[in-house]
């Protein structure tokens, strides 16, 4: 690891409690910000990550830099958080960049694209692989500073009312899915639907939709979808490692003392790592409970995975051909992904596959 990066994120290595909060705050001004979240409080792991962030910023600045957090809808709707930060309605927001796919598909690289990077790979790309520089340049053009602020790990492929075995089974399927994934699914005959999370259960129960994707076992369990769509599929190939991010209004960022900027960077990296750890700890037990309550676990067939990969690749290549901003990130990102997957096949994948096999005996 580079020395500068180590120093920046040193709170992780030493433990959060070892950072003496008053040191950063000596002589610092009192500042109050508002943070708009795209997420409801019921998503306690994702929403809670930003709570951790605001708490740590206050601790690192001796209570002089206070950031108040607001759930989706309290200041602006969840899908308008980035717009609110750009407009200066709030100074900072916690959201997922692929929500803004419709503005420019390039935004998705700061979160997830189909058959993209895993959680660890995404962190490696942003922190050590040139991703931060590419993304900062892109977001600067939109008046924003971007910071990593969480990852769920590879998500599930969704809840289906019936089994899906072949590409033909996808034809006419009304599936709650959007963005790059929705565009990919559309090429296989799926009819993408955009429905708020709180309405998904009723839509499945009434047959308004045939399937819905959410997050993973821990969060999915809360929606009770197993009762109305028992077929639970994996993997969510459109979200191999979806990153949540903090976006700061660039004008507000430039006003901050350097010590406060350092506090934001350190606190955001802490909450980034902690979110993944929380999901890894909570998902296994949640999945076991779902299966006990009737979930039928499936993996997408090779036919479906192959077709999805082909269409997703075609769509990204087409976008790169017409969108210079997308192409500028996509080409080095693609090389990084391919190198990472080759390396993973050498040691980590064989080790993981052996342990999975051994655990079934």
Q: For residue 35, which of 82, 101, 2 has the smallest C-alpha distance?
A: 82
Residues across the chain: 361
Annotated ligand binding at 125? The verdict is no
CA atoms within a 13 Å half-sphere pointing along the CA-CB vector of 154: 14
Left if phi > 0, otherwise alpha if psi is -120 to 50, otherwise beta: which for 323? beta
- 155 among the known binding-site residues? yes
Alpha carbons within 13 A on the beta-carbon side of 171: 4
Neighbours of 98 (CB within 10 A): 23
Q: Which two tokens stand for residue 140?
A: 């600067």
Close Cβ partners of 14 (under 8 Å, ≥ 6 residues apart): none
Residue 342: strand, helix, or coil: helix
**Residue 33, annotated as binding a ligand:** no
237 among the known binding-site residues?
no
Alpha-carbon distance of 54 to 66, in angstroms, equals 7
80 is an annotated ligand-binding site residue: no
The closest of 243, 224, 215, 221 to 156, measured between CA atoms, is 215
| Binding annotation | 155, 176, 213-214, 239
Q: Which residues are annotated as a binding site for Na(+)?
A: 214
- Residues making up the annotated binding site for substrate are 155, 176, 213, 239
């Amino acid at each position: 690891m580079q020395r500068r990066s180590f120093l920046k994120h040193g709170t992780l290595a030493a433990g959060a409690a070892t950072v003496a909060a008053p040191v950063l705050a000596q002589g610092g001004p009192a500042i109050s910000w508002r943070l708009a979240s795209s997420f409801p409080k019921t998503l306690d792991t994702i929403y809670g990550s930003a709570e951790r962030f605001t708490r740590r910023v206050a601790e690192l600045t001796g209570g002089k830099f206070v950031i108040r957090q607001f759930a989706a809808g309290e200041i602006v709707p969840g899908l308008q958080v980035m717009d609110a930060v750009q407009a200066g309605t709030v100074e900072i927001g916690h959201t997922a960049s692929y929500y803004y796919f419709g503005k420019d598909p390039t935004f998705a690289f700061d979160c997830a694209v189909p058959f993209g990077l895993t959680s660890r790979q995404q962190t490696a790309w942003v922190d050590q692989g040139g991703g931060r520089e590419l993304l900062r340049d892109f977001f600067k053009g939109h008046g924003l500073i971007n910071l990593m602020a969480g990852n769920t790990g590879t998500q599930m492929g969704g809840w289906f009312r019936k089994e899906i075995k072949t590409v033909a089974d996808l034809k006419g399927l009304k599936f709650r899915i959007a963005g790059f994934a929705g565009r990919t699914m559309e090429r296989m005959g799926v009819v993408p639907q955009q429905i708020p999370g709180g309405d998904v259960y009723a839509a499945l129960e009434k047959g308004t939709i045939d399937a819905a994707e959410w997050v993973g076992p821990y969060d999915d369990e809360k929606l009770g979808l197993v009762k109305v769509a028992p077929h639970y599929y994996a993997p969510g190939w459109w979200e191999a490692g979806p990153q949540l991010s903090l976006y700061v209004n660039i004008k507000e960022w430039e006003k901050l003392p350097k010590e406060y900027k350092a506090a934001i960077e350190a606190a955001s990296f802490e909450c980034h790592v902690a979110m993944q750890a929380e999901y890894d700890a909570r998902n296994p037990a949640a999945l076991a409970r779902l299966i006990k309550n009737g979930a039928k676990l499936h993996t997408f067939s090779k036919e479906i995975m192959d077709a999805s990969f082909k269409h997703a690749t075609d769509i990204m290549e087409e976008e790169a051909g017409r969108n210079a901003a997308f192409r500028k990130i996509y080409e080095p990102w693609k090389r990084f992904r391919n190198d990472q997957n080759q390396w993973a096949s050498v040691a980590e994948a064989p080790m993981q596959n052996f342990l999975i096999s051994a655990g079934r005996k």
